[in-house]
Structure 1
Amino acid sequence: MASPTLPVLYSTPLAEPVAQFVSAHYDLPGPLECKLLVRGWNDVFEIRANGGARSILRISKPRARGEPDVATETAFLAYLDRRDIPVATAIPTRGGALFTSAPFPEGQRCTVLFRHVGGRASQATQSADDARANGVTLARVHDVADGFPSDDSGRYRLDLDHLVRRPLSAILALECLSESTRADLTDLAARLSADLAQRDGLSWTRCHGDCHGYNANIAVEGPRAGQAVFFDFDESGAGYLAYDLAVFLWNCVIFGRKHHAAWHAFIGGYRAARELRHVDLEAVDLFVPIRHIWLLGEWASRIHEWGEQAVSADWIAGQLDFMLRWEREMLSPRLL
């Protein structure tokens, strides 16, 4: 008697069946070529149609935050495209839908086929021009975001529950942490949350959610030459405008980085394209450790897939040191 198949948490599909799936659901000239680009947060494949036209298939994964909000994401991208904002939009299925789903051993997973973004990869922390271009495009996104229909607000709100409380719970669930690390993380999160609660009048908008400078290509020809074309709105949702800005600064300073010139170019580009209220700019520093708590929580929530050794106690303690140092140097005059 054959043994039963073991249940899986996460499976990676082969390229050929993925090509067959795309051919069945999308009106692309075949035969299609398919190759895996990256797996992990999501599974991403490049699709090449007969004639050479490329597109990008993203197969979403379940996350601690819940199911992916592809309906709002793809609708927002279509709205931005209509407003002439440079973004990678979804390609409709044969039935006209902007997304579909594929069956996997672990269950149905949302899939979206995106138009391929030409140009070259953004190098925003290394190039002032690229950083500035990212700032300009984010400003343009925020400038039109209020026109996105309110009934399409989506399931994600980038608030304290999403950015601090739920991630902190995932981190504290790690069995390897010392009691001192647990206490220091809890206390830090409480101080950051209290500071945010005291700030009145912070702007609320629809955020990209992951504008760290590398979710973009730089157009090299045509009317958009030099512009940053955004993709990967997987983390998008209604949230604090200051948080959306802080993601770029966070990427300039984490893991020992000191890309301060890139940050100044980015925020300069943003302010050249759109007015930025002082209260929002002043709050950016606060959201750097908040973003880092979110990241640690995302990693901690994946130990059942990645393994406990992927998120060690020493690594968490090192990241806590970074956040405490940032608090002392950048936030203490306000917090203490």
Structure 2
Amino acid sequence: MLDFNPLYSTPQIAAIEQFIDRHYPLAGPVSCRLLQRGLNDVYLALGSNGERYVFRLSHRRARGPADVRTETAFLTHLAQSGVPVAAPIPTREGSLFVEGDAPEGVRQAVLFRAIEGRKPDTADAGDARANGKTLALMHDAAETFQPDGALYRLDLEHLLHRPLARICDSGVVEDAEVRSDLEDIAARTAKAIEAFGDLTSTYCHGDCHGFNARINDAGEAVFFDFDDGGPGYLAYDLSVFLWAQTSFGRRSTAMWDAFVDAYRAVRPITPADFEAAHRFVIVRHIWLMGEYASRAQEWGSETVGWIAREANFLKTWETERCVERLF
């Protein structure tokens, strides 16, 4: 018999339902359905009284385990500060997260109350402004949050250098010239960011690309999916929205302008942070490439093969948006 050593297992729905019933004081029995499988497993959970929840089972990632302790502490702080977010639901024992054993090892789980509202519209300036406002409110509240023992710091080592190493080590980029281009772009980008010297630090959402939110009846963007958050560069947190408007063939910055205007209506952005955000678009793209490269053995080289074609986007962005320009 061949003994498999799984990289990633998917629990049966019945097991997830029993896990939630065992750990959470919901009106049971709970019924679930899988919403998505990938970077994390996300389930819609329905209590017998009709209450809707979202249950997230963290994936084991190249960075290490999910920092659910810091994430849920930050979410609780934001909710208490009046920032619209999906706050975690405590377990029967009062913890904001719980762990479970999977064939590949321990996985972390968090239960959230489901957010009411609609998905943001990519072409709606009002939705972009709502995202900008909530991010600004979040950064305001972050000034009074003290992360205790955060596992990850969103610095250049975490966001750029280690992801680049994963790309090069994965074997996905076979062309030595392309690998050299990526290394050169990363080095120039790191040097440019370090040259600013006075960039603002904050606790970052880490993935504010515009879709990790729901627009409620009041027009607010209610944020969720803080799994990639941590202490880091404010400019990076801003850059993710710009990256989402301009990567993978998208070229519009109109929604970025609306996003920034709404952010500035709540709190200022220093010239250095604003300028650095354009450099951080490259960092964000390499970070994503590194995330996919680290999944090559799990998802297959065909699924992550797009990574080898992204050097052109990075070179074009660097030339058009970062070199001797006033954006």
TM range (shorter): over 0.9
Deviations 1:83-114 (A, max 9, x none): 01100011000000000011111111100001
Q: Provide the residue aligned with 1:141 in structure 2.
A: 138
2:316 paired residue among 312, 319, 325: 325
2:194 paired residue among 175, 194, 197: 197
Cα shift at 1:62: 1.2
Secondary structure of 1:173's partner? helix
2:168 paired residue among 166, 172, 181: 172
Is it true that 1:258 corresponds to 2:256 in the alignment? no
Distance 1:202 1:9 in 2: 38
Is it true that 1:306 corresponds to 2:299 in the alignment? yes
Deviations 1:34-62 (A, max 9, x none): 00000000000010001210000000011
Moved more, 4-13 or 34-43: 4-13
Cα shift at 1:280: 0.8
Cα shift at 1:240: 0.6
Secondary structure of 1:189's partner? helix
Q: Provide the residue aligned with 2:212 in structure 1.
A: 215
Deviations 1:252-280 (A, max 9, x none): 00111123111111111101111111111
Q: Provide the residue aligned with 1:127 in structure 2.
A: 124
Q: Provide the residue aligned with 1:8 in structure 2.
A: 6
Cα shift at 1:187: 0.8
Q: Provide the residue aligned with 2:19 in structure 1.
A: 21
Distance 2:177 2:281 in 1: 22
Cα shift at 1:126: 1.6
- The amino acid that maps onto 1:282 is E
Secondary structure of 1:309's partner? coil
Q: Provide the residue aligned with 1:77 in structure 2.
A: 75
Distance 2:207 2:176 in 1: 31
Q: After TM superposition, where is structure 1 displaced by more than 3 Å over at least 4 residues in a row? A: none
1:249 paired residue among 242, 249, 259: 242
Q: Provide the residue aligned with 1:40 in structure 2.
A: 38
Distance 2:15 2:40 in 1: 17
Distance 1:91 1:296 in 2: 33
- The amino acid that maps onto 1:242 is A
Secondary structure of 1:34's partner? strand
Secondary structure of 2:160's partner? helix
- The amino acid that maps onto 2:299 is W
Secondary structure of 1:46's partner? strand
Contact 1:120 1:217 in 2 (8 A): yes
1:54 paired residue among 52, 55, 58: 52
- The amino acid that maps onto 1:49 is G
Secondary structure of 1:103's partner? strand
Cα shift at 1:283: 1.1
Q: Provide the residue aligned with 1:316 in structure 2.
A: 307
Is it true that 1:231 corresponds to 2:229 in the alignment? no
Contact 2:170 2:294 in 1 (8 A): no
1:163 paired residue among 159, 163, 177: 159
Q: How many residues align?
A: 324
Contact 1:158 1:240 in 2 (8 A): yes
Moved more, 239-248 or 253-262: 253-262
Contact 1:153 1:238 in 2 (8 A): no
Contact 1:248 1:263 in 2 (8 A): yes
Cα shift at 1:5: 4.2
Secondary structure of 2:56's partner? strand
Contact 2:120 2:210 in 1 (8 A): yes
Cα shift at 1:79: 0.5
- The percentage of counterpart residues that share the same residue type is 50
1:291 paired residue among 284, 288, 297: 284
Distance 2:193 2:149 in 1: 22
- The amino acid that maps onto 1:144 is A
Contact 1:203 1:280 in 2 (8 A): yes
